[in-house]
Amino acid sequence: MSSDESKRGITILVTGAGGYIGSHACLALLEAGYNVIALDNMVNCWKDDRLPEPESLIRVQILAGRQLKFYHGELLCKPSLEKIFEDIIQEHKKIDVCMHFAALKAVGESCAKPLEYYKNNITGTMNLIELLEKFGCKSLVYSSSATVYGDPSNLPISESELTGVGLTNPYGKTKYMTEEILKDLCNAVQDWGVISLRYFNPVGAHVSGLIGEDPNGIPNNLVPFVAQVAAGKLPKLKVFGGDYPTKDGTGVRDYIHITDLITGHIKALEFILKDFKGFKAYNLGTGKGFSVLDVIRAFREASGKDIPYEIVDRRPGDIAASYCDASLADRELGWVASRDIHDMCQDVWRWQSRNINGFKKEINPNCILHSPKKLELLLSSLTKTELRKLDRQHHLEILDAIDQQKVQEGFDKLRRLQEVVKASGQLGAADSPAAQDVGLPFCGCER
How far is the C-alpha of 54 from the C-alpha of 72, rounded, in Å? 9
> With left for phi above 0 and alpha for psi between -120 and 50, is residue 241 left, alpha or beta?
left
Q: Which of 322, 438, 298 is nearest to 382 (CA)?
A: 438
Site string for ligand UD1, 389-408 (x = CB under 6 A): --------------------
**Binding-site member from 72, 92, 119, 238 for ligand UD1 (CB under 6 A):** 238
Q: Does 228 bind ligand UD1 (CB under 6 A)?
A: no
Residue 166 C-alpha from the chain's centroid:
28
Q: Which of 213, 292, 203 is nearest to 247 (CA)?
A: 292
Q: Does 109 bind ligand UD1 (CB under 6 A)?
A: no
Active-site residue flag, 171: yes
Closer CB to ligand UD1, 331 or 342, in the complex: 342
Catalytic residue chosen out of the listed positions 20, 118, 149, 171:
171
Between 341-354 and 222-230, two packed helices, what is the crossing angle to 10 degrees?
50
Q: Does 149 bind ligand UD1 (CB under 6 A)?
A: no
Segment near ligand UD1 (CB under 6 A); pick from 95-103, 232-240, 256-264, 396-404: 232-240
Shortest separation between residue 222's beta carbon and ligand UD1, angstroms: 4
Q: Strand runs (DSSP E) across 247-394, as ranges? A: 252-253, 255-257, 278-284, 290-291, 309-312, 321-322
**Binding-site member from 11, 125, 144, 147 for ligand UD1 (CB under 6 A):** 147
**Residue 301: what residue type?**
E
Q: Which of 359, 311, 46, 352 is nearest to 228 (CA)?
A: 352
Shortest separation between residue 302's beta carbon and ligand UD1, angstroms: 17
Closer CB to ligand UD1, 142 or 171, in the complex: 171
123-130: which pairs have CB atoms within 8 A and are 24 or more residues apart?
Answer: 123/75, 123/76, 124/75, 124/76, 125/75, 125/100, 125/178, 125/181, 126/181, 127/75, 127/76, 127/78, 127/81, 128/15, 128/75, 128/81, 128/98, 128/100, 128/102, 129/181, 129/182, 129/185, 130/78
Residue whose beta carbon is closest to ligand UD1: 251
Q: Does 257 bind ligand UD1 (CB under 6 A)?
A: no
> Which residues between 74 and 93 bind ligand UD1 (CB under 6 A)?
none
> With left for phi above 0 and alpha for psi between -120 and 50, is residue 248 left, alpha or beta?
alpha
On whether the CB atoms of residues 257 and 344 are closer than 8 A, the answer is yes
Shortest separation between residue 309's beta carbon and ligand UD1, angstroms: 8
**Binding-site member from 35, 41, 144, 201 for ligand UD1 (CB under 6 A):** 201
Contacts of 438 (CB under 8 A, 6+ apart): 378, 381, 382, 386
Total residues at interface with ligand UD1 (CB under 6 A): 20
Closer CB to ligand UD1, 240 or 276, in the complex: 240
Q: Does 266 bind ligand UD1 (CB under 6 A)?
A: no
Q: Which of 105, 106, 56, 25 is nearest to 269 (CA)?
A: 25
Q: Does 414 bind ligand UD1 (CB under 6 A)?
A: no
Query: Could you give the 3-state DSSP secondary structure of residue 47?
Result: coil
On whether the CB atoms of residues 353 and 345 are closer than 8 A, the answer is no
Q: Does 198 bind ligand UD1 (CB under 6 A)?
A: no
How far is the C-alpha of 334 from the C-alpha of 267, rounded, in Å? 7
> Which residues between 284 and 303 bind ligand UD1 (CB under 6 A)?
292
Segment near ligand UD1 (CB under 6 A); pick from 35-43, 59-67, 75-83, 236-244: 236-244
**Residue 96: what residue type?**
D
**Binding-site member from 172, 193, 285, 410 for ligand UD1 (CB under 6 A):** 172
Shortest separation between residue 197's beta carbon and ligand UD1, angstroms: 12
**Binding-site member from 107, 137, 329, 367 for ligand UD1 (CB under 6 A):** 107
Q: Does 253 bind ligand UD1 (CB under 6 A)?
A: yes
> Which residues between 303 and 332 bind ligand UD1 (CB under 6 A)?
315, 317-318
On whether the CB atoms of residues 85 and 49 are closer than 8 A, the answer is no
Closer CB to ligand UD1, 184 or 313, in the complex: 313
Shortest separation between residue 26's beta carbon and ligand UD1, angstroms: 20
Site string for ligand UD1, 22-61 (x = CB under 6 A): ----------------------------------------
List residues binding ligand UD1 (CB under 6 A): 107, 145, 147, 171-172, 201, 220-222, 225, 237-240, 251, 253, 292, 315, 317-318
What amino acid positions are annotated as catalytic residues? 171
